[in-house]
Structure 1
């Protein structure tokens, strides 16, 4: 019997192993092909049902066909197939989530966000962006210098979804709504490195929020970064979007609110460099700045410049200049503007009346101030407590204390009105000077009932009042009480 050589078996074994690998590979390819076919069948079937069946029946039909639901990738592919009908794409996305047929990830969120942004469905897209941010933040490191995960996915899927740059504006706005300013800034920088620039409205919103949260100077730096005005940027790096008049108005207002008038005037000069035409709001801010500095001649020059340029003043512009004249007690010029408003059918606001009332009071003209106050009330406006205080102080200065007291009593009948401490003090001081100590004590009790504790001014009024009446004993006792009890109370 011949013994087979082992060398003869090797080729047989090699052929067997090779055949096995070939068989496994073919089987794997067939499985992948079958899986791909099933996937394509699922997508085409669902798309067909969504497009062709009636709205009421399509959802149950799809759920019965695919009770196990869909993967996020399949949902993305289905929504892309129907992206020309964004309403339907959004309904399918939300329905699959509501019925627990798909556990969406950032990729499926990004797809539907791109579709909605492309169709300018701002509100719906922004809502989904906010949800996607919350979903991604579960395990995300809170590092403001790193872009959000949703930003990375949106960038990656941008071209395949045929999206529009507007999608990144929505993402930035979502960050701003959540007060995530640093994240928004990071996104703007990364977009700019890709030569993608947010719309001017988005840029303005970012600058405004930075100014509000971090101050006017930080807002100005943000402005320079967005539009490429920092020294390290040359003209080739300038943003393709330019600031508009609203941008400059925001910067001016921010600096004005922080009392930095020089900066306001500097920005005004910068407006012309970009051929931006100042509007009535721009003029109002600069006029307010000049009025605060008492430069009424320059403020009037700007006012006339507006008219030459056919920029029609609005109520805010009138109020600004009226306030300036009233604070300088140039009440006749303020009156002239008030009459001009009526001639041009510009409705006065509560502020218009309050500025004029305060101006008349400072000028010692009580009667016209009271007439204006009655007019204010007829228009259903409600004056601030500070305006009422000016009226009462002016009445007391003119020795019309009882009239001021009646005025206050009438106001306190309205439960919504809360008098200031100074209103009570003026009246008590006036009553004490008249020797009407009983009425002054009653008013002091009312003041305490409003939560105001007596201070040195109140004690001094009563002490002087009792001394004038020759009652030194009560005056001495009050002086001792004041020193013993209220030594640490600050004199308002």
Structure 2
């Protein structure tokens, strides 16, 4: 990525913070002006967001880049680029900096905070188990003219998504219900809470809540059925999901792509992949166009059934049908392949086709090669990850360190462990590295 390469060259040219950068890596004032004009025309919000995503596991570097692209390249940040930066900061609990950025957003009409901004804030607070702080953030939304029904749903959704459904239920139906000045949809709130119980994996509570909706006269809609079908699949009862699917059809509830995806997974698990393919064809006949998740579900079922040739055929057909594969598509195939050469070939195809691997993809491949005792493929995946501009997380570092230890390359493993510590990541305790460090200390003495 051109923008990242230019940023990294500037960082190398000056070891000090980019925020205080005074060294100009260009030959003349005219060249600088020309470069700034080029930057302003070349760097749109999509490019900047993609560059920030490369630093999702290194908030300090992300913030350096965020400030650099504005000050040195003349880019004007939008609401979307601010939101991406706030999300990265929130991941590392840098909430004071998040609010500082939100205050910066207010002064620019192109970057005013929106519902997405505070949905991110709610999510990051709740992920850190700072429930009261998330509620306090909701209370502040009057200052931004955003304290409305959408924000309330976003707050409840964040609580339910991240296993604080008890607090969400108390917020909606308990003694200390928030006074909002607007009414909320009974069905939608119940759907969110039902999904919250499913996130906890409390299947008995899910069943109890499903029946409670009937008792209290809560109308069940398409999303209610989709959530409960998913619960049945995850709780190991896919045949009950199929029964719900038939109930929906008898009630003439029109299924959307999400519901069909759940049905295909349920029928495939309970009756076999061919039955899943039948529903796949049915959804197309009924005018519901399959999305990438639909194709991924079929590919996963085919792989689990050992029909790799059919899975590859579907992979080939996806772009022709206007549905581009994503990293999950390839991960379904990687999970079933058993030959390093096949995996590397498919990995190369993935990169060439423009599909950006997620960090989970890199870790999955490195772990597979490590289990098989192959170090070179592990290092190749690591190199590809770095060249793509992706910042490794703890799982990626641990995967490469374990592979190096397995081959007895303790010095190199220690270098990666030290790099982890420098980045503020905590490595696992490994006796091989600790013992050698102690031996070296005794010899030095």
Q: TM-score, normalised by structure 2?
A: 0.49
Larger RCO of the pair (alpha carbons < 8 Å, separation 6+)? 2
Which structure has the greater CA radius of gyration? 1
> Normalising to structure 1: TM-score of the pair?
0.45
